[in-house]
Structure 1
Amino acid sequence: MVNLKPPRREVNCIVGIMHALHQFLLFHVLTCLGQNAHGSVIIHGKKAPENSMLYMASVQNSTKKHVCGGFLISENFVLTAAHCDDEIPTSVVLGTHDLTKADDSMRYSITKFKNPFYKGVSYGNDLMLLKLSRNVGLNDRVQTIPLPKEEINMKENVECSVAGWGYTKTNELDQRIVDELRVVDVSIINQNICKKIWGGLPDNVICAGGYETKKGFCQGDSGGPLVYDGVAVGVVSFNYNRNCSYPHFPNVYMDISKYLGWINDTLKKKKYLSKGSSSTQDVAGSQDKVDGYQLVQIKLCCIKRIDLTALIQQVGRPVAIMHGLYKFLLFHVLAFLGRNELGSAIIDGKKAPEKSMLYMASVQNENGQHVCGGFLVNNNFVVTAAHCDVKMEKTKVVLGTHDLRQVEKTVKYIEKLCKHPFYNSKTQENDILLLKVGGKDNWKYKGQPIQLSTSEININEKCSVAGWGCTECNTVGELRVVNVSISNWDVCKREWPGLPTSVICADKGLCKGDLGGPLVCDGTAVGVASFYKNEKCDAPNVYTDISKSLNWINKVLKQNNC
């Protein structure tokens, strides 16, 4: 039998390194990413009847403030949304509709178990189980709610209900959390219609309310249940841009029936691994562990010229002991520290031929400095990256020239910013921004739109990427272009742990000068330059896959608005 237990001295050394790495990564992630509140609440609802919905739970933080909804599914588990963990919940209150009447006997401390595949709201899998510190005594104030017994597909127009505490108004100065539980009826929306309206959706969701109605949820109470015929069928997940005036976008819930296996497995577990971890745990299937710790093979590259790989190798072990959280943090630090303020640039490229690539756009700040690339997709819209620091009143777009130093060119102002509704600033998923531009064209120097790809790209296909910026850190004013090949997805994932699924990877090309520009294959734009690794710029570059967002893009272009 193979002995997987490493010598104690090496374990202590590696754990010490991982602890320091954790602090380093956590500091940069909090600094770079900041915090973002989530939640849902009930709009145009009514006060819930006193003896109804006795399964409802108020998920609260350390100050005993309500941050999310939830619902009791067994005597010691509450189900809620995974993104509620962003609010750092510490307890659950059960047994009252009026939160002003909550006392310590109603409060339960919690251990959190996120769905192991949750990465962000726009990825889906937005579920979290909360194990209570003690069993709940079921009585005339507290009851569980049943879950579906098998996988189901909710039919269109079926009437359900959703309940929660939180705001009853949106975008108003007097909005505040309400103390008493409120409920509203909502109808199921056809899944195909919902996907078309949203321009794509995560897997395993239900759409209900918020479309052709003034009823639904809003900020304040995510994690609450969507209930049909006395059964919890969904968990409140997200709405459109936190706009609760319901701009014809359906509300979205996680479909509980698609996660019954994970939920039942978690409820049945008698022993939970907790060594070296926080109170939030990912409960998955079988995993390799040593003394209760998860084993993760890691490859650390240079972060600001700190070679942590060499440091780990000094202890003589190829496998580092590292909680899954570190992988998550590591990806974001690499992504954010690896991004240069100016965007991306072209390495080992050549000057772009005159009269070619007339779709290329330079997004510039108020001082006329190039900050990001972009590309013209029709006479009114330019595509760039959502992470680019674009301010409508201070940014302009230059078209029709390869040489930014040239006096004659077309300069457009920005009329509207249309950011992808699923853009995630933490993961850079759906890193696409549409700029509606106005102003007259210079008849001699005007842009020509490029077509967008309608299908996914093939591995090893030859493509090109162009941009302004620096080559080996020498600033250039002329457009440069380089040929690139599409990289294997598995290879790219090894370089970028936790990579979003809606991206394309390609070798070399981008570095220090021009993110937002197009990845072009066979004369069509297939990707938007999103991020790269800094310093050597020798890892696969990452582009947002245009085909995955095509429905949303076409909708904006057709409406000439967003």
Structure 2
Amino acid sequence: MVFTCLLLFAALLPCLSHSASVNVGIVNGTEAEPHSRPYMVSLQENGKHHCGGFLVSESFVMSAAHCWNNGANLTVVIGAHDLDNYNYYRIPVKFYHIYPGYRRLYNDIMLLQLEKPAQRSKTVEWISIPKTNKDVEANTICSVAGWGKISSEGPLSSRLLEADVSVIETKKCKSDWGQYFSESNMLCAGSGRGFCQGDSGGPLVCNNIAVGVVSFFESGNCDKPTVPNVYTKISQFLPWIKEIINEKSRVFEEEHLLLDVRTGSACGELTSPTMLHIIFSLTEVNLHSPYSTMALISLLLLAALLPQLGHSASVNVGIVNGTEAKPHSRPYMVSLQVGTQHFCGGFLVSEQFVMTAAHCQNHGMNLTVVIGAHDLDNYNYYRIPVKFYHVYPGYRRLYNDIMLLELEKPAQRSRTVERISIPKTNKDVKANTICSVAGWGKISSEGPSSSRLLEADVSVIETKKCKSDWGQYFSESNMLCAGSGHGFCQGDSGGPLVCNNIAVGVVSFFESGNCDKPTVPNVYTKISQFLPWIKEIINDLQ
């Protein structure tokens, strides 16, 4: 029935309004006074304008989730008016926080965490967002701005354009857009002016407050649309926004201690050491007050145990002290690949979703899911592109290291392809339970590799022991650990810890540079702790 309705509404199929073109602007708008909107951001890919956005704090930009575009590596440009005049600042994106329930038109909102804080100036400032979830009254005159096209086929402008628009009654929006419009999560505006390709992610501003995010419009018709433009309603997402932009998850230098520790490369193709930047939250280690000498010394001593994220970009890799799995005895296992090279593990939890570690997303890298594989040198397997990356919104480096990948098409069950069950309730795994881990990661820190899937039995370790060994790196509620002389290494990240045929953990991190004889146990993300979020993502689609 849903499919039939979608076909019937095809004539109104909305076009996501992002663009990879430069020199673009608002429909029927006028040039904004230079730097009168100092919160405006140009999101750029390879030096070209791609989407709009806006500063909501010194370290966060808000934009549309569809602007991330399955792994595009974006740069934030602040302080700009004329994109042909390079008198502006460029800041790399550190993390992409995509709303977990995002799918195409729905919940189209994203927060970009900046590599370094934006400095306030005459040309750079952030804008306020609503404090409570309240509707904007119909007929309110608001404004929209951007560097998007000025018409569907018309000329372009490199300068920031702006236009006044009138908020339209929710019932009218629903009547015009039908099932595409969510009355709770969207709002719409029009009046003969509005946005076009390239304006996505910009703000709808009412009374100097950003109340909406530019999302979608009538396909191919920016000039004289028969239906109003649609915006994501920011106030509906306040709990999620506050969770991301709170003291615990911000990455400001004054609130965190940044240690640069030289480690072996996490990517097997890179043989020289690389600088791994790990951020330790001062709130997590009770250092919110001014640093004490003892606290600093403790952190430096703990640096010897600095965990290394276990992902790898090399091929031909496998589990430490393991044995070759019987071919296709673990039909849920997935190889996540960059190009054609193995990068991380994963596992099917439904025909449409793969679970893996959030750090495998690696700042916008475009992954392909390989299912039905045993020997990666034997190409008798299936490749499925990733449609959407659902990174847990509270993810930050080691913490909440979990992600769901939505597949471009459903995986077909077969002898070599099957999903695995996950826990139904949030319950701890008992200490000393014998479980197993599998993957195509390195077989030792410096040793040979195998293209075939390896597996090993591991014993779950008591939570108190894990906490004692790992200190502030270990979360007793969100992690579990296991060992016994077997375990994982680079390239195994994202694979499952399986106990009694149920995936209970996701491979996350281990002792830096020591896969062979670790002095501390391997750490997994505890799946059952994230069941509400997992169900929200999977059930929303299915």
Query: How high is the TM-score relative to the length of structure 2?
Result: 0.50
In structure 2, the residue corresponding to 1:83 is in which secondary structure? strand
Whether the 8 Å CA contact 1:339–1:533 is kept in 2: the answer is: no
The reply to whether residue 57 of structure 1 matches residue 30 of structure 2 is: no
The within-5 A match list for 1:178-327 is 178-185=159-166, 207-209=185-187, 219=198, 224=203, 226-227=205-206, 230=207, 232=209, 234=211, 236=213, 251=232, 253=234, 282=252, 296=257, 300=261, 302-303=263-264
In structure 1, the residue corresponding to 2:161 is in which secondary structure? coil
Choose which of 527, 534, 538 in structure 2 pairs with 1:549.
534
In structure 2, do the counterparts of structure 1 residues 344 and 470 end up closer, same or farther at CA, with 3 Å as the change threshold?
closer
1:437-477 Cα distance to aligned partner (Å, 9 max, x none): 66794xxx444432234544537665542234543334453
Deviation at 1:511, TM superposition (A): 0.7
Name 2:438's counterpart in structure 1.
Answer: 466
1:384-425 Cα distance to aligned partner (Å, 9 max, x none): 566498776xx75325xxx64999xx9543354333244899
Name 2:456's counterpart in structure 1.
Answer: 481
Name 2:420's counterpart in structure 1.
Answer: 450
Whether the 8 Å CA contact 1:58–1:92 is kept in 2: the answer is: no
Whether the 8 Å CA contact 2:146–2:161 is kept in 1: the answer is: yes
Deviation at 1:250, TM superposition (A): 6.5
Give the Cα–Cα distance (whole angstroms) in 1 for the partners of residues 161 and 403 of structure 2: 39
Look at both structures and tell me which one has the larger radius of gyration over its CA atoms.
1
The within-5 A match list for 1:75-474 is 82-83=60-61, 87=75, 91=79, 120-122=96-98, 131-132=120-121, 151-155=131-135, 161-168=142-149, 177-185=158-166, 207-209=185-187, 219=198, 224=203, 226-227=205-206, 230=207, 232=209, 234=211, 236=213, 251=232, 253=234, 282=252, 296=257, 300=261, 302-303=263-264, 335=309, 339=312, 341-342=314-315, 345-349=318-322, 357-361=330-334, 372-378=344-350, 387=361, 396-398=370-372, 404=375, 411-422=380-391, 430-435=402-407, 436=409, 441=414, 445-456=415-426, 458=428, 462=433, 463-472=435-444, 473-474=447-448
In structure 2, the residue corresponding to 1:251 is in which secondary structure? strand
Give the Cα–Cα distance (whole angstroms) in 1 for the partners of residues 127 and 405 of structure 2: 42
Deviation at 1:504, TM superposition (A): 4.2
Choose which of 47, 61, 79 in structure 1 pairs with 2:29.
47
In structure 2, the residue corresponding to 1:131 is in which secondary structure? coil
How many residues matched? 414
Name 1:194's counterpart in structure 2.
Answer: none
In structure 2, do the counterparts of structure 1 residues 153 and 503 end up closer, same or farther at CA, with 3 Å as the change threshold?
same
The reply to whether residue 536 of structure 1 matches residue 514 of structure 2 is: yes
Deviation at 1:529, TM superposition (A): 3.5
Q: Write the letter of the residue equivalent to 1:131.
A: R
Q: Write the letter of the residue equivalent to 1:520.
A: V
Deviation at 1:167, TM superposition (A): 0.9
Q: Write the letter of the residue equivalent to 1:251.
A: T
Whether the 8 Å CA contact 2:170–2:187 is kept in 1: the answer is: yes
Give the Cα–Cα distance (whole angstroms) in 2 for the partners of residues 81 and 256 of structure 1: 18
Give the Cα–Cα distance (whole angstroms) in 2 for the partners of residues 434 and 170 of structure 1: 33
1:291-325 Cα distance to aligned partner (Å, 9 max, x none): xxx8x4969574569899xxxxxxxx76659xxxx
Q: Write the letter of the residue equivalent to 2:209.
A: A
In structure 2, do the counterparts of structure 1 residues 434 and 478 end up closer, same or farther at CA, with 3 Å as the change threshold?
same
1:346-376 Cα distance to aligned partner (Å, 9 max, x none): 3344665899644335568998x86654434
Whether the 8 Å CA contact 1:68–1:222 is kept in 2: the answer is: yes
The reply to whether residue 523 of structure 1 matches residue 501 of structure 2 is: yes
Name 1:506's counterpart in structure 2.
Answer: 481
In structure 1, the residue corresponding to 2:133 is in which secondary structure? coil
In structure 2, do the counterparts of structure 1 residues 358 and 217 end up closer, same or farther at CA, with 3 Å as the change threshold?
same
Q: Write the letter of the residue equivalent to 1:482.
A: D
Give the Cα–Cα distance (whole angstroms) in 1 for the partners of residues 392 and 352 of structure 2: 22
Q: Write the letter of the residue equivalent to 1:360.
A: M
Whether the 8 Å CA contact 1:465–1:482 is kept in 2: the answer is: yes
Name 1:291's counterpart in structure 2.
Answer: none
Whether the 8 Å CA contact 2:441–2:491 is kept in 1: the answer is: yes
Whether the 8 Å CA contact 2:460–2:482 is kept in 1: the answer is: yes
Deviation at 1:483, TM superposition (A): 2.5
Deviation at 1:536, TM superposition (A): 0.4
Give the Cα–Cα distance (whole angstroms) in 2 for the partners of residues 58 and 414 of structure 1: 41
Give the Cα–Cα distance (whole angstroms) in 1 for the partners of residues 525 and 154 of structure 2: 40
Give the Cα–Cα distance (whole angstroms) in 2 for the partners of residues 135 and 515 of structure 1: 39
1:511-533 Cα distance to aligned partner (Å, 9 max, x none): 13434422334533344445555
Query: How high is the TM-score relative to the length of structure 1?
Result: 0.49
Give the Cα–Cα distance (whole angstroms) in 1 for the partners of residues 403 and 453 of structure 2: 25
Whether the 8 Å CA contact 1:361–1:373 is kept in 2: the answer is: yes
In structure 2, do the counterparts of structure 1 residues 492 and 159 end up closer, same or farther at CA, with 3 Å as the change threshold?
farther
Whether the 8 Å CA contact 1:373–1:467 is kept in 2: the answer is: yes
Deviation at 1:506, TM superposition (A): 3.2
Give the Cα–Cα distance (whole angstroms) in 2 for the partners of residues 371 and 44 of structure 1: 41
Deviation at 1:154, TM superposition (A): 1.5
Give the Cα–Cα distance (whole angstroms) in 1 for the partners of residues 510 and 490 of structure 2: 9
Q: Write the letter of the residue equivalent to 2:513.
A: E
Gaps (5+ residues) in structure 1? 1-36, 72-77, 94-98, 137-143, 191-196, 198-205, 264-279, 288-293, 309-316, 322-330
Give the Cα–Cα distance (whole angstroms) in 2 for the partners of residues 515 and 171 of structure 1: 45
The within-5 A match list for 1:64-75 is none
Q: Write the letter of the residue equivalent to 2:502.
A: T
Whether the 8 Å CA contact 2:26–2:194 is kept in 1: the answer is: yes
Deviation at 1:507, TM superposition (A): 4.0
Whether the 8 Å CA contact 1:466–1:480 is kept in 2: the answer is: yes
In structure 2, do the counterparts of structure 1 residues 519 and 129 end up closer, same or farther at CA, with 3 Å as the change threshold?
same
Root mean square deviation of aligned Cα: 6.9
Deviation at 1:166, TM superposition (A): 1.4
